[in-house]
Amino acid sequence: MSSRSGIASLSNEAGYSFSTSAIAAPKRDRKADVLLSSESPGERRWGHHFVGKVPLSLSSSSLASMPQWLRTGFWRSHMSSSVYSDGAAYVRGQFVPIAEATLPVTDWGFTRSDVVYDVVHVFDGCFFRLQDHLDRFELAMAKRRLRPPEDRTTIEAILHRCVALSGLSDSYVAMVASRGKPKVTGSRRPVDCENHLIAYAVPWVDVVPKDVQERGAHIWIASNPRVPDASVDPTVKNYQWNDLTSGLLEAHDAGFDTTVLCDAEGFLTEGPGFNVFVVKDGRVVTPDRGSLHGITRQTVLDLCAELGIEALVAPIHRSMLDEADEVFLTSTAGGVIPGARIGHRILGNDRPGPISLRLKQAYWSKHEESGHRTPVRPLEAEAAE
């Protein structure tokens, strides 16, 4: 079936294809367990050999002769939460356990980091600002001339299915567009590549561990500069992380939790996977350059307006960090993350500051409002569409 329908065709390890619309919710099917207690010899035979196991030698005739109730029960058991407990992925039109999501070594997404991506989180069974993330992903693909076959509606359906298969109520969910590998061997022309979509849902990720968030992150100021905006557009979420990784290695060598980078002119930009904010005299400022237009960043700016906190996007020279009252980070992978130290400077009483904590609380309260929440569609609902 076409991937544009939002329902892709899958194969199990024995090579038997089936539609994802037949996959039940990723939880143990109690009805199938009850049926296995039947006194029917045939049902006992099928139950003994197949339910809960992968039929490595199951013939197509055996599958056809399997009772309907057991075919359903088998697939439900095989596609249970144990299979997807570490996460679910969509690769090359198939949904697979995260450990089976692979790329060819000749894919330009691997060999050249020729990729754009976006990440949205699921909290308490709901996506947060999903449409905003899809908007940004579409814009990034357009800027990099990436055109996977799946349209926006299908991409959204795929994200829902990845989360539903995983059974996770809190999840880190990624959508990735890769250039792919050339259809003409040896070609160096991007247009010769077959662009494709990758998506996956894994257990919740924090860019800064929760215990570190509680005491306040210790943030290193990297010695290496951020790659210039004119070379790599920071508003397009991408896998060019060499400068960020260099700063992170330096931070860890110095015993810090994470890092922020300045540009070659000494102006603050961002860190590995997050935006940064500086608080001075009750005013909140975030950099106007070298930074992704983060969805969490925008949420914080909106919250400042609601709470009557002055906030702006403006140049922040490195010297301002020596005078800051507070520093905090923002990311889909963690929300509002207060800092307690910036470089070798201790902020306040070496704990998260009051404005940082107020915005953190307001951010998570925002998740309870229906305007930004999109409930994850259960698999049964998608199968009925």
* AA letter at 329: L
94 and 169: one domain?
yes
CATH of the domain at 225: 3.20.10.10
**What is the pLDDT at residue 82?**
74
55 and 108: one domain?
yes
CA distance 65 to 41: 15
Q: Is 360 inside any structural domain?
A: no
214 and 320: one domain?
yes
| Tens digit of each residue's pLDDT (9 = 90 or more) over 335-349 | 999 999 999 999 999
102 and 243: one domain?
no
CA distance 324 to 19: 56
**What is the pLDDT at residue 225?**
98
Q: Is 358 inside any structural domain?
A: no
59 and 131: one domain?
yes
225-253 b/e (C-beta count within 10 Å ≥ 16 → b): bbbeeeeeebebbbebeebbebbbebbee
**What is the pLDDT at residue 370?**
83
**What is the pLDDT at residue 383?**
55
Q: Is 317 inside any structural domain?
A: yes
CA dihedral defined by 357, 363, 368, 372, rounded to 10 degrees? Answer: 180
Q: Is 146 inside any structural domain?
A: yes
Residue 13, classed as helix, strand or coil, is coil
158 and 295: one domain?
no
**What is the pLDDT at residue 51?**
29
pLDDT along the chain (385 residues), means of 10: 37 33 34 29 29 35 44 41 88 96 95 97 98 98 98 98 96 98 93 97 97 97 97 96 98 98 98 98 98 98 98 97 97 98 95 98 94 92 57
Q: Is 312 inside any structural domain?
A: yes
- Structural domains counted in the chain: 2
In the DSSP assignment, the letter for residue 212 is: H
Beta bridge pairs of residue 120: 173
217 and 194: one domain?
no
Q: Is 294 inside any structural domain?
A: yes
153 and 230: one domain?
no
Domain that holds residue 97: 7-205+370-384
70 and 136: one domain?
yes
CATH of the domain at 22: 3.30.470.10
| Tens digit of each residue's pLDDT (9 = 90 or more) over 61-110 | 444 454 443 333 333 434 445 799 899 999 999 999 999 999 999 999 99
Contacts (Cβ under 8 Å, ≥6 apart) of 127: 120, 121, 159, 163, 173, 373, 374, 375, 376
Q: Is 115 inside any structural domain?
A: yes
Beta bridge pairs of residue 335: 331
CA distance 210 to 204: 11
Residue 297, classed as helix, strand or coil, is helix
200 and 259: one domain?
no
| Tens digit of each residue's pLDDT (9 = 90 or more) over 3-27 | 333 333 333 332 333 333 333 333 3
380 and 301: one domain?
no
**What is the pLDDT at residue 63?**
41
196 and 319: one domain?
no
Q: Is 363 inside any structural domain?
A: no
**What is the pLDDT at residue 385?**
55
